[in-house]
Amino acid sequence: MQIIRDAQALNEAVAGLREGGRTIAFVPTMGALHEGHMALILEARTRADAVVASIFVNPTQFGPNEDLDAYPRREAADAAMLEKEGVAILWAPDAATMYPEGPAATIEASAIGDDLDGAARPGHFDGVATVVARLFDQVKPDFALFGEKDYQQLAVIRQMVRDFELAVEIVGVPTQRDADGLALSSRNAYLSDDERLAARTLPRALGEAAQAIAEGADVAEALDKARARLEGAGFEAIDYIDLRDAQTLVPMTLLDRPARLLAAAKIGRTRLIDNLPVERAQN
């Protein structure tokens, strides 16, 4: 595996990979890799001839009071994991390489990025769209893989690809979870033992609400119940828990088409997000 930090070197390496019409699948990450990221790498291998991964902790998607400086960084361990799974190139630029002109040209995320995490984290999805567009430009992938764990991010990127008619196919990969149901996340490392125990309530409350709604329960009531359960477990701030159209993410009060139940809540100082599909139960 080549570890590349320089844009010109990346250009040459990507051109080499593409020789003879070989295809590239790309997995962008912020590092501190876990089995959730590795599921994307494994899926990438099935899609294309070569896999390129990136590690870049993108400052423009962090708010002023967020965890940019504290975000876990362990590139050597990450590189070993990627190499073991046959990744051809690890693209690991620094901020000056990614933004040589500073934050000059930015992309504004579509309206899909306005609420939910976009409301809780103003500017977040503009930062995501901007860095992903730059990464696509640098890596020129045929496929790019993103986790359903960050469902709104996946929807924002799919919309950006449609809006700009980018020649890349976006592949969503199901959320990988610990044995107790908690979605794997680099931020789980911030949780104390007690918080880690309480955090299990997030997927459980979501799972119960999703099942109740699928079986015909009143949406508002099911969401209220889930909210109460999270508060009871010690979640201090619930940014949102809401039922949305699975594609457009517009709010839904009735389950009349495929939906997604999404939540974000803080436990201690750690903000967790999760989501589940909701479709009417067949009977």
With CB under 6 A as the contact rule, the residue among 24, 30, 205, 255 that binds ligand AMP is 30
φ, ψ for residue 57 (rounded to 5)? Answer: -80, 100
- 118 interacts with ligand AMP by CB under 6 A: no
Structural tokens at position 251: 């709010």
Cα(40)–Cα(218) distance, rounded to whole angstroms? 35
Among 150, 239, 242, 274, binds ligand AMP (CB under 6 A): 150
Q: Establish if 144 lies at the interface with ligand AMP (CB under 6 A).
A: no
Q: Determine if 130 is a binding residue for ligand AMP (CB under 6 A).
A: no
Q: What is the spatial distance between Cα 209 and Cα 223, in angstroms, rounded to a whole number?
A: 6
Q: Decide if residue 124 touches ligand AMP (CB under 6 A).
A: no
Map tokens 């109740």 to a residue. Answer: 212
Residue 78 found at the interface with ligand AMP (CB under 6 A): no
Q: Is 124 a catalytic residue?
A: no
CB nearer ligand AMP, residue 169 or residue 231? 169
Residue 250 Cβ vs ligand AMP, minimum distance, rounded to whole Å: 22
User: What is the DSSP pairing of strand 169-173 with strand 143-147?
Assistant: parallel
Taking each helix axis as running N to C, give the angle between helix 201-214 and helix 219-233, from 0 to 180 degrees, rounded to the nearest 10.
170
CB 126 within 8 A of CB 109: yes
Q: Which of residues 151-210 bind ligand AMP (CB under 6 A)?
A: 173, 175-176, 183-186
Counting contacts by CB under 6 A, is residue 271 touching ligand AMP?
no
Write down the catalytic residue from 26, 33, 37, 129: 37
Helix, strand, coil shares of the chain, percent, nearest 5, are: 45, 20, 35
By CB under 6 A, is residue 61 in contact with ligand AMP?
no
Q: Which of 99, 94, 55 is nearest to 77 (CA)?
A: 55
Q: How far is the CB of 239 from ligand AMP (least distance, A)?
A: 17
Q: How far is the CB of 23 from ligand AMP (least distance, A)?
A: 19
Comparing CA positions, the residue from 75, 261, 59 lying closest to residue 152 is 261
The site for ligand AMP (CB under 6 A) is made up of 29-30, 36-37, 39-40, 146-147, 149-150, 173, 175-176, 183-186
Catalytic residues: 37
